[in-house]
Structure 1
Amino acid sequence: MTFTWADFVSAEPRFAETVQRRFEKHTHHVLGTLRKDGSPRLTGLEVTFRFGELWLGMMPNSRKAQDLLRDPRFAVHANPGAGGGMEDGDVRVGGRAVEVTDAGVLARFAETVAPPLPFHLFGVDLTEVVRTGLDGDELVVQVWRPGRPPRTVRRASDDSPPREEG
């Protein structure tokens, strides 16, 4: 079963809004893909939210596009900004990239985003959304996975064990 960004927004609207706002603070982020030999590849990427969905666009025949066409698993980490910028937390999404081949969708996307042509476009099938932030002296990690309620783990700066909420 596929879980799109719209599904995440429907399931967890406030969490999704926080994550999207964090990604929209900066244009460039870091994409993790898998090379042919299975080793990780990290590359820059622009993340775009349009039509209620999350999109990954890139030049055709780029290494990252080739990686995703061969093995669709990915993770995108939001740019932390200058000085780390943890006020909105640190976010990442992971899942499977879904190649967009529908000419109508590609044309609609190109009209609103005006990417350099030609371009390769992927939708996402989410498997995980994570936000890590600070609440006072505690590190707070929120994790959402499809079909499950979000998990929140809090870890104090002292030696006390982490505690889970929800």
Structure 2
Amino acid sequence: MAWWSDLVDEQPEFAARVRARFAVRKHGTMATLRRDGAPRISGTEFEFGADQLRLGSMAGALKAQDLRRDPRVSLHCPTEDAPPDDPAAWDGDAKISGIAHEEPPGENGSHRFRIELTEVVLTRVGDPPDHLVIESWHPGRGLRRRERR
């Protein structure tokens, strides 16, 4: 199992850049699987603690029911557009995939989950801005960098 603290310990600079992308706004996006296997996209808030990445939802929310049934989840940072006159100034975006582990309920029966990491990806425009730089981290494999033109 790999947790947020494992990524921070192994790749602190990469983890800081990923966390910064998730911090640009309060709400990001998460993908879960419905009962019939179809994807569900939901807005959510993320909490990056010193050791864990957590998310929550209101009591009885469908996204929480999805995670209780099938804990696989993908998270996407809030999206920001590149300046129209300077695409290289785009700070990129981040995605995290993992397994949601339910924690004791919060106030008013709200759901809380800590996320076991299975993949963390950071994508940005390269320099010069004619390609993408894709950095991905997987537990046991570490950090890899690819360029895509």
Query: Structure 1 length as normaliser, TM-score?
Result: 0.80
Q: Structure 1 counterpart of 2:147, which letter?
A: R
Say which one has the larger Rg.
1
Q: Which runs of 5+ in 1 are unaligned?
A: 107-115, 157-166
Query: Structure 2 length as normaliser, TM-score?
Result: 0.89
SS in 1 for 2:65: helix
Provide the residue aligned with 2:9 in structure 1: 10
- Counterparts of 1:65 and 1:16 in 2: how far apart (Å)? 26
Provide the residue aligned with 1:143 in structure 2: 136
Root mean square deviation, CA, Å: 1.7
Query: Conserved in 1, the CA contact under 8 Å of 2:73 and 2:97?
Result: yes
> Percent of aligned pairs with the same residue?
40
Q: CA deviation at 1:11?
A: 1.1
The correspondence of residues 5-154 of structure 1 with structure 2, limited to 5 A, is 5-81=4-80, 83=81, 87-101=90-104, 117-135=108-126, 136=128, 137-154=130-147
Q: Which runs of 5+ in 2 are unaligned?
A: 84-88
Provide the residue aligned with 1:113 in structure 2: none
SS in 1 for 2:18: helix
Aligned length: 142
Structure whose residues are more often helix by fraction: 1
**Cα gap change, 1:84/1:120 in structure 2, threshold over 3 Å: closer, same or farther?**
farther
Query: Conserved in 1, the CA contact under 8 Å of 2:97 and 2:119?
Result: yes
Q: CA deviation at 1:20?
A: 0.4
- Counterparts of 1:149 and 1:27 in 2: how far apart (Å)? 28
Q: CA deviation at 1:84?
A: 5.1
